[in-house]
Structure 1
Amino acid sequence: MDPITVARYLSAPTAFILAGYSISASQSTVPLLYKVPSSISAEVFKGVFQNGAIIVAPGAVISASAFAYLAYAIPSQRRLYAASAALILAPLVWTKGVMMPGIERLIEISGSTVEQQKADASGEALKLMQAWVLQNWVRAALSASSGVTALYAWANNA
């Protein structure tokens, strides 16, 4: 198999896998924690976030690297593949720049009984998780956009 084919098989599918992973967390995982006390929900959220980092960061790097190679190897599609690379890395930037304060606060809540009691009384943990779900939909959209852009490039290069 030639390198372009390998890069295509790695890049867009990985972008869609990452989009699906984010969709699953926003649709089916974190919302189930809304009615659970923060002593449980914040700890589960912490695990979801930490386990996600094991999948998402390396997946984004693999996908972006493959997109970068395609941008280099196929000059006529350079802009589209470069855009795909930027879009698949954008969720990492979004997470760091927008989502981390809430994530860090939920992790802080997970480690302290006093903070859990405060968060339950004020509804803070619920509000933080609801905000995270909305922000995570942005990550899903960015990853999916990366894959769609790559498929468009692929289809127009045939």
Structure 2
Amino acid sequence: MDSLSVARFLSIPSAFLVSGYSIAASQMAVPLVYEQPASVSAPFLRGVFVRGAAFVVPGAIISSSASAYLAYAIPERRTTLATASILTLLPLAFTRFVMMKGIQHLIEISESAAEQQKGDQNGEVVQLLKAWVAQNWVRAALAFSGGMLALYAYHSSVERRVYRY
């Protein structure tokens, strides 16, 4: 197996795995705790965030790095693959610059009984959870788009080689 095959093998599936993880959290996990008290829902989101970071960060870096290598190695698909590389890394930046304030606030709530009580009374925790879910869909879409672009670039480069010979 050559380096291009390895990079393709890493780039495309890891982007889809990162996207799928985010979709599962947004669709299946976090909405289930909307009805729970803040003493349950805020710590739950904290766990989702911490465990997600352990999976999503390496997955995004692997996918982005592999797509960047492919962009370097396949000049006729450089723009498409470079864009795929950026798209698969953007969820990390999106988390840092858009989502982190809400996540940190939920983590603070998860560590304080007084904040949990306040969050239950004013509905703040449910609002923060719903905002997280909406923002997480954006992260899923970014990773998915990166995977689709890498898949398109791969398919196009295979098609070109078939017709070249």
Taking structure 1 as the reference length, the TM-score comes to: 0.99
- Extract unaligned runs of 5+ from structure 1: none
Distance in 2, matches of 1:138 and 1:91, equals 8
Distance in 1, matches of 2:137 and 2:62, equals 21
Tell me the number of residue pairs that the alignment of Structure 1 and Structure 2 aligns.
Answer: 158
The offset of 1:35, in angstroms, is 0.2
Aligned position for 1:79: 79
Distance in 1, matches of 2:12 and 2:156, equals 15
Distance in 2, matches of 1:127 and 1:102, equals 10
RMSD over aligned Cα, in angstroms?
Answer: 0.5
The offset of 1:10, in angstroms, is 0.4
Measured against aligned partners, the alpha-carbon deviations of 1:21-65 in whole angstroms (never above 9, x if no partner) come to: 000000000000100000011011100000000001111111111
Distance in 1, matches of 2:54 and 2:155, equals 31
Q: How much identity, in percent, do the aligned residues show?
A: 56
What code does the residue aligned with 1:38 have? A
Aligned position for 2:147: 147
What code does the residue aligned with 2:99 have? M
Q: 2:45 matched to 1:45?
A: yes
Runs of 4+ in 1 over 6 A off after TM superposition: none
Distance in 2, matches of 1:52 and 1:4, equals 28
Measured against aligned partners, the alpha-carbon deviations of 1:77-110 in whole angstroms (never above 9, x if no partner) come to: 1111100100001101111111011100000000
Counterpart mapping for 1:15-26 below 5 A: 15-26=15-26
Measured against aligned partners, the alpha-carbon deviations of 1:123-151 in whole angstroms (never above 9, x if no partner) come to: 00000000000000000000000000011
Distance in 2, matches of 1:98 and 1:22, equals 16
SS of the residue aligned with 1:99?
Answer: helix
Q: 2:94 matched to 1:94?
A: yes
Aligned position for 1:63: 63
Taking structure 2 as the reference length, the TM-score comes to: 0.95
What code does the residue aligned with 1:48 have? V
Distance in 2, matches of 1:156 and 1:56, equals 27
SS of the residue aligned with 1:35?
Answer: coil
Aligned position for 2:135: 135
